[in-house]
Amino acid sequence: QVQLVESGGGLVQPGGSLRLSCAAAGTISSIGTMGWYRQAPGKQRELVATISSGGSTNYVDSVKGRFTISRDNAKNTQSLQMTSLKPEDTAVYYCNANVKSSIDYVTRNYWGQGTQVTVSS
């Protein structure tokens, strides 16, 4: 089994910064693409950023230039550095990863439990 554990959420003022982290643990052979999604109240879940195993990144237009996704393959972790935060960034943020099992070598998609980010003055 694989579990994704998120940390770093909280309350921040507009213009502030937060760093979200996600650690994968369990029977892991390797991890492919990882990313972050978010869901604001009354809105559907949207893709925020992704990073491939080779380090290629993609971002939704609304966060380009403000958010940076990174990963550490040796530690099975990923991070989302968020700067210049806006009230519209308020949402529950979810870690997501494609993980190949060390038991049967089948790749499965996993979700973290979600962490609340609130941007408010």
Let me know: does 38 contact 92? Beta carbons within 8 Å.
yes
What is the share, in percent, of the chain residues with pLDDT greater than 90?
Answer: 99
Q: Residues 69-98, buried b or exposed e (16+ Cβ, 10 A)?
A: bbbeeeebbbbbebeebeeebbbbbbbbbb
pLDDT digits (tens, 9 = 90+) for 6-28: 999 999 999 999 999 999 999 99
Let me know: does 49 contact 65? Beta carbons within 8 Å.
no
Average of per-residue pLDDT values in the chain? 97
d(CA 6, CA 44): 20
Under the banding of pLDDT at 50, 70 and 90, the label for residue 96 is very high
pLDDT digits (tens, 9 = 90+) for 78-88: 999 999 999 99
97 DSSP β-pair partners: 34, 110
